[in-house]
Structure 1
Amino acid sequence: MAEIVRMPKLSDTMTEGVVAEWYKKVGDTVAEGDLLADIETDKATMEFESFYDGILLHIGIEKGGAAPVNDILAIIGEKGEDISALLKDAEGKEEEAAPKEEPKEEKAPQEVTKPEKAVEASQPTLTKTSESNDGGRVFASPLARKMAEDKGINLSMVNGTGENNRITKKDIENFNPANAGGSAMSQSVNTGVESYTDMPLSQMRKAIAKTLSASKFSAPHFYLKVSVNMDNMIASRKVINADDDVRISFNDMIIKATASALRKNPKVNSDWTGDAIRYNDHIHIGVAVAVDEGLLVPVIRFADTKGFAQIGSEVKVLAEKARTKKIQPDEMQGGTFAISNLGNYGIEDFTSIINPPNSCILSVGEIKAMPIVKDGEIVPGNIMKLTLACDHRAVDGAVGSAFLKDLKNLLENPVKMIV
């Protein structure tokens, strides 16, 4: 008996999906567990496997097509099986479920007439003037002026044959730049071609726009900034990476320091739920990863219990999954705090939009060599700027400041993270 395969709900916020790729075509044999298609959700593009054995009898959504969750994706059954009744019954149920719209009164289209282009005879007799190269005034009819502008001709180099040497349409039509010493085209000349490309929004980009717009315009953001001396962190990382079996990044160390600071400041490790502030006992840190379609935020779970190397290993695996569209929804859910690091792009400091329902997000800039004052003397140093964005509904300035103070202390004294 034929079975209907419906558009799956692959994330908690997914309302529709796009078929990015089909791996089977109508008439192919399908076994349970076979890869049927890639489905683009609001979070990622994911592989979708068949739950049934049989022949692929029908494809309901072609490659590139979008459809709501539970729409018919495909039908799998026995070879030669008649599925017309099944399709009719399924379509009937969808029509019943769809909201009925009141008929709208159609209005007769209004005829819009466009004015004919004005000819020179209909131009006003008023003649515009401009300055010539020698400081004199140039007289030209409006039509001649427009033609000169379109052709990129400098009116000061055109000899007018009209009354009082006024430049006319014929003067522009008969104008030869070679006879004007080659300088008649000194004004800007439009030689390029205007063009643009409209790129349809992906499901991910739609979700980013919806989520971050809601966050920015509903959560009262405020920002706290601090500069961190990274000299000790640089020295510590150099010692750790001297071991051939270990390779950690500054980002790994920042994640660990952030988790440790959150343990000391639990009010920052919170969510705004609308009717309550949820203080999380666990620390799951979301790490922003740039992908072609936008931004994904994989989550490092229980980050405060893990060392630099373990955090680094997990970040590498999750980032690679994100970039190759293999990441799963549960690997991006449950974050209690987020970090966005643009230091590798040479950004000194910036502000991020809070990733709801989190109360805060940390923005990390580049480590920049600059002169600093130490013990009353100007010496070379390495400074990194941090910006904490806070939802004022859940986190007050003093609370966020205490967190940043502890985070700065840990980053400037990394040995405290291993004692």
Structure 2
Amino acid sequence: MPIEIKMPALSPTMEEGTLARWLVKEGDTVGSGDLMAEIETDKATMEFEAVDEGTIAKILVAEGTDNVKVGTVIALLAEEGESADEVEAPASKAAPAPAPAPTEAAPAPAPAPAPVGANGSGDSSRVKASPLARRIAAEKGIELSAVAGTGPNGRIVKADVEDAKPGAVATKAEPERAAQSPAAEAPAPAASKAPAAVWYDESIPHETEKLSNIRKTIARRLTEAKQTIPHIYLTVDVRLDALLKLRAELNAALEPRGIKLSVNDLLIKALGVALVQTPKCNVTFAGDTLVKYTRADVSVAVSTPSGLITPIIRDAANKSVSAISGEMKELAGRAKENKLQPQEYQGGTASLSNMGMYGIKQFDAVINPPQGMILAVGGGEKRPFVIDDALSIATVMSATGSFDHRAIDGADGAELMKVFKELVEAPIGMIA
């Protein structure tokens, strides 16, 4: 009896995924723990390991297949003593037997006459057509209402008007051509909730790229955040000179251990401590309840080829900066290889996004739901600064906190920003 290998649920929220790549082929022998496939979830691309031993008898889902539901049988594993050639794919649900063919074919009904306008109207201004198609039609004197569109939902595109004759109506051949696109055959049902198509100028040279599951999730979550969370933004300017001096001293002391701290490592520590000292900002809004966290788990934004992901430094307030540094390097490295485990990027009580390395001076970040705040930090730069009533030059960084105003009042957000500023400007206190 062959063993069914099913699409796994690689995260608590996963319902479907993309079978990105098979790492085995039919006939290969696998053992428990062997890597079998790479599966792209809504968060990352993860490796799928074999649980049982045997021979890959049949691969039922080809690599590159999207929207594979969790639990779908993707391959069959022949056990010891079982011939792979004898293994058969699981039978699909039996379909009702087709009705017997009539002895004499009924005459085909006469085709209905073509409508005056393939788009349902004789008014060209109301016909769905791309800007380029309209321009070509105007130049050639073509009535758009007489052209059958082959684009999505019957939209007229460049190819439809290039060969059309001025004054011509949709011919019998044109509806046949239009029928190649299901969307052109009939309007979508009124109850359909499919997102509206986004049109663009086809005349501009371009290429299209299919969105990964990760990019789709980013788009959905950021849209959700901006539409449902009332953001309030609070910005402070922070002197970095003391922190940079401390970093240099710590790196000199840690050099024999091969540890080199970044400014970001110290900022993660500062945010963790600030969240513990201002617990009203370490929260999640949950409808009619407020979740108050007693530990600061800081999600740190990392840019990867697939999109942004936020590995978590758990209990950042109570970790040493050297521990944060080592953990962050390891997490960021695996994030860029799409090898993070779900527990390493799911959760977190607040986020930190640092764009200083790109020369960004200041920006407002979008809250990562269900968290209540995110801190956006820009690059440090030399600026004129008043110190002890005297104008001096200091290294200054702008930091902006984005807060969920449903859960965090402006005064509480301001308190967190004040504490964060104090910790960075007198950093010895946060590592004592």
TM-score range relative to shorter protein: 0.7 to 0.9
Assess, with a 3 A threshold, how the Cα gap between structure 1 residues 119 and 83 changes in structure 2: closer, same or farther.
closer
1:418–1:117 CA distance, 2 compared to 1 (3 A): closer
Find the aligned partners of 1:118 and 1:255 in 2 and give their Cα distance.
61
Q: Give per-residue Cα distances to partners, 1:225-274, cap 9 Å, x unaligned.
A: 11001111111111111222341111011111111111111111111223
Q: 1:366 aligns with which of 372, 376, 379?
A: 379
Residue of 66, 87, 91 corresponding to 2:90: 87
Shift in Å, 1:60? 2.1
1:130 alignment counterpart: none
Match of 1:215 in 2: 225
Counterpart for residue 417 of structure 2? 404
- Residue 404 of structure 2 corresponds to 391
**How many residues end up aligned between the 2 structures?**
333
Q: Assess if the C-alpha contact under 8 Å between 2:27 and 2:84 holds in 1.
A: no
Kindly state the Cα deviation for residue 110 of structure 1 after the two structures are TM-superposed: 4.8
- The residue aligned with 1:17 is 17
* Partner SS, residue 223 of structure 1: strand
| Alpha-carbon contact 1:286-1:332 (below 8 Å) kept | yes
Gaps of at least 5 residues in structure 1 are 96-106, 121-192
Q: How does 1:281-360 map to 2 (within 5 A)?
A: 281-360=294-373
> Which position in structure 2 is the counterpart of 1:160?
none
Distance 1:271 1:247 in 2: 34
Aligned-CA RMSD value:
2.4
Shift of 1:330: 0.8
* SS of equivalent residue, structure 2 residue 17: strand
For residue 33 of structure 1, give the secondary structure of its aligned residue in structure 2.
coil
- CA change 1:278–1:25 in 2 (3 A) is same
* Separation (CA, whole Å) in 1 of partners of 2:353 and 2:246: 22
Letter in 2 for 1:260: V
Q: Distance between the aligned counterparts of 1:351 and 1:361, measured in 2?
A: 9
The residue aligned with 1:169 is none
Q: Which amino acid aligns with 1:318?
A: L
Q: Closer, same or farther in 2 for the Cα pair 1:272/1:117, shift >3 Å?
A: closer
Hey, what's the Cα distance between the residues in 1 that align with 2:228 and 2:423?
33
**Contact 1:272/1:394, CA 8 A, preserved across alignment:** yes
Give the distance between the partners of 1:363 and 1:2, measured in 2 at CA: 53
Q: How does 1:152-191 map to 2 (within 5 A)?
A: none
Partner of 2:46: 46
In the aligned structure 1, how far is the partner of 2:13 from the partner of 2:220? 11
* CA-CA distance at 1:65 after TM superposition: 0.8
Amino acid at match of 1:267: K
> Residues of 1 paired with 2:375 and 2:350: CA distance?
8
Look up the match of 2:61.
Answer: 61
Contact 2:56 2:84 in 1 (8 A): no
Provide, for residues 325-358 of structure 1, a one-character-per-residue CA deviation record: whole Å limited to 9, x for no partner. 2211111122011100001011001111111110
Residue by residue, what CA displacement relative to the aligned partner does 1:261-295 show, whole Å, maximum 9, x if unpaired? Answer: 11111111111223311001111110110000101
Once residues 405 and 363 of structure 1 are traced to their aligned partners in structure 2, the CA distance between those partners, rounded to angstroms, is 15
Post-superposition shift, 1:111? 6.7
Residue 378 and residue 313 in structure 1: after superposition, are their counterparts in 2 closer, same or farther (change >3 A)?
A: same
Runs of 4+ aligned structure 1 residues displaced above 4 Å come to 107-120
- 2:203 matches 1:202: no
Q: Distance in 1 between matches of 2:52 and 2:342?
A: 23
Among residues 249, 259, 281, which one is paired with 1:239 in the alignment? 249
> What are the residue-to-residue correspondences of 1:242-257 with 2, within 5 Å?
242-243=252-253, 244=255, 245=257, 246-257=259-270
CA contact (8 A) 1:369 1:382 kept: yes
For residues 163-214 of structure 1, what are the alpha-carbon distances to aligned partners after superposition, in whole Å with 9 as ceiling and x for unaligned? xxxxxxxxxxxxxxxxxxxxxxxxxxxxxx9521111010100111111211
Correspondence for 2:7: 7
8 Å CA contact retained: 1:37, 1:49: yes
2:367 and 2:283 map into 1 onto residues whose CA distance is 12
Partner of 2:386, secondary structure, is: strand
SS at match of 1:350: coil
TM-score, length of structure 1 as denominator length: 0.75
Change (3 A) 1:222 1:119: closer
- Secondary structure, aligned partner of 2:252: coil
- Counterpart Cα distance in 2 of 1:47 and 1:285: 26
2:288 aligned to which of 275, 279, 283: 275
Q: 2-side partners of 1:303 and 1:11: how far apart?
A: 24
Q: Take 1:304 and 1:119, find their aligned partners in 2: how far apart are those partners?
A: 70
Question: C-alpha distance in 2, partners of 1:28/1:237?
Answer: 52
8 Å Cα contact 1:388/1:400 also seen in 2: yes
User: Which secondary structure does the structure 1 equivalent of 2:369 belong to?
Assistant: coil
Tell me the CA shift for residue 112 of structure 1. 4.5
Q: 1: distance between equivalents of 2:71 and 2:417?
A: 46
Per-residue Cα deviation, 1:345-404 (whole angstroms, up to 9, x for no partner): 110011111111100000010001111112222211111000100111110100100111
